[in-house]
Structure 1
Amino acid sequence: MSETAEFQPPIDEQPRMPGSEEQMADKPDWTPRYRGSGRLEGKVAIVTGGDSGIGRAVAVLFAREGADITLVYLADEETPDAERTKALVEQEGRQALCLKGDLGRQDFAKEVVSKTIDTFGKLDILVNNAGEQHPDDEIEDITEQQLRRTFQTNIFSMFFLAQAARPYLRRGSAIVNCTSVTMYKGSDNLLDYSATKGAITAFTRSLSENLVKEGIRVNAVAPGPIWTPLNPFGGQPPEDMKDFGKGTPMGRPGQPNEVAPAFLFLACEDSSYMSGQVLHPNGGIVVSG
């Protein structure tokens, strides 16, 4: 994507997304809950939004299972999150490549894949986890810039990365996309975000149909409210944070390490007979589809 009006830069809001896990007083729990069993031994994975939250939990769990990781992240300024995640991957005995940039730029998506191939020699798993959201109570409050930015980050990036990765994916490869419970039950103050998550689910099912005969599986995870930097750093109104996640049947938000195993299952051979499907770690919210 050229550096023209086609690209929508980050929305000028405070606090600025994506936020920093290291700045949170109540730190998310990313720690894997069990020993590795080699389910991704020798694999290479790209994890977007990989510096914190769900992305960090996925990256560390994948490393524990034997994968080398390319961590892709966006930050307006230097934060310790990415380097911390890189160190955690390396503590698991695997390699980590950190790439900072905006996946709404097609040229950066291509760079992510090319540098992954240059560093590790192959690509087996693509985890499209990066996303952003901007709460608005009224549809009239959603600006054109915000609408374009949300779609650019949440769904355009997935197209760009899948396009760039496709020549390197082969039989046995897997793509795992991050959709959301809001796609199924809606959200009165996340209209544009929820719309992108509907697009992601449709993209997942359609790309699965497109690639399944090549032996490449495409699935998705639809988390409920998960305790990550996204929400306290602008993804939810500050006044709503005290009750964040309490509306689920379990009465609490989930932790990143409660979501990461769903990504692992869909990335490894345990799910070899699944494609075009969505898993729902959402605190007990019953949804269809």
Structure 2
Amino acid sequence: MARFSNKVAIVTGSSSGIGRSTAVLLAKEGAKVTVTGRSSEKLRDTVDEILKDGGKSENINIVVGDLTESECQDDLVKSTLERFGKIDILVNNAGAAFADPSGVIGIATNINLFDDMLKLNLRSVVELVQKCRPHLIASKGDIVNVSSIAAGPQPFVYYTFYGIAKAGLDQLTRSLAIELIAHDVRVNSVSPGLISTGFLTAVGMPNEMAKKTENYYASHRDCIPAGRPGTPEEIATLIAFLADKNSSGFIIGQSIVIDGGTSLALAMPSHDLSKAL
């Protein structure tokens, strides 16, 4: 029997990157999956990958919408329950950093972007967990949040507001873990470093610049000791491990770093990326 047979998973931000790889992996291993994102075209690509890997169309639920909107969250929960009858796994992956159009970084960044990043990276997770809570308690389910090494303890000046939001997510993970384990619901998170996804282009970098950034950091082992960025599939594998009680049942409230050694070297934040580019 596949590892996630008879399990129902919601994976937010599953139209690309880590979320897509996670949805594909969970479905491949037997889960019924709700995929969600703002782009119907990209979600269709996710569905195509699931089907190509042996998933079944009747085991896929698609919700197109903006996760920061209550209506989208409500639709996500309602449609999953109507389609599959329960919720076993919630992967809170949707998140992003937003660049100031003027090019400033750090505390000079427009305060409206601070609000936007908190709303997507933290508030939407709080709201969705509130709405999924009774269903996860009923199934004795699992929550996996996707954080970032930008949350600290080392500073990332280029992503100050994003790091603040993710630090809040780490604290939410710990608090939820203690609250919900009383109901046999586990909560953990993963903290990726530099991963080859569309994250940098979403921040506002052109594709060529995003690739140049990845190559720059990969070539400096004081930034990434492993000598390369990670892959979405590697993060998905860790998420699946944390969502599987048979593999990780005694791990509770932890944020597991997966960054190729970046947070050990501590040099990436000290590099001036503007000079590198």
Normalising by the smaller structure, the TM-score range is 0.7 to 0.9
SS in 1 for 2:47: helix
Give 1:252 deviation, angstroms.
1.6
1:268 aligns with 2:232: no
What is the deviation of 1:240? 6.0
Partner of 2:261: 284
Contact 1:86-1:97 within 8 A present in 2 as well: no
The TM-score with structure 2 as length reference comes to 0.84
CA contact (8 A) 1:57 1:257 kept: yes
C-alpha offsets along residues 209-229 of structure 1, whole Å, 9 cap, x if unaligned? 110110000000000101111
Counterpart for residue 142 of structure 2? 174
Matched, 1:191 2:160: yes
Match of 2:65 among 68, 78, 101: 101
**Other structure's SS at 1:219 match:** strand
Equivalent pairs, count: 249
1:189 shift after superposition: 0.8
Identity %: 34
Asked whether the equivalents of residues 133 and 235 of structure 1 are also in contact (C-alpha less than 8 Å), the reply is: no
1:201 corresponds to: 170
55, 73, 76: which one pairs with 2:19?
Answer: 55
Which amino acid in structure 1 is aligned with residue 48 of structure 2? A
Equivalent residues of 1:223, 1:282 under 8 A apart: yes
Name the SS of the counterpart of 1:60 in structure 2.
helix
Map of 1:1-289 to 2, 5 A cutoff? 38-75=2-39, 78-79=40-41, 81-91=42-52, 92-94=54-56, 95-135=59-99, 137-170=104-137, 172-184=140-152, 185-234=154-203, 236=205, 239=209, 241-244=211-214, 245-246=217-218, 247-269=223-245, 270-286=247-263
Structure 1 residue 239, shift from structure 2 partner: 4.5
Q: CA deviation at 1:241?
A: 4.1
**Partner secondary structure for residue 22 of structure 2:** helix
Retained in 2: the 8 A contact 1:47–1:69? yes
What secondary structure, in the 3-state scheme, does the structure 2 residue paired with 1:280 have? strand
Task: Give, in angstroms, the shift of residue 140 of structure 1.
Answer: 4.7
- Letter of the structure 2 residue corresponding to residue 98 of structure 1: I
Is the partner of 2:233 in helix, strand or coil?
Answer: helix
> What is the alpha-carbon distance in structure 1 between the residues aligned to residue 107 and residue 134 of structure 2?
42
Residues in 2 aligned to 1:108 and 1:224: alpha-carbon distance in whole angstroms: 29
Structure 1 segments unaligned to the other structure (5+ residues) = 1-36
Please tell me whether the aligned partners of residues 170 and 189 of structure 2 are also in contact (alpha carbons under 8 angstroms). Answer: yes
RMSD: 1.9
Which one scores higher on RCO, CA 8 angstroms, separation ≥ 6? 1
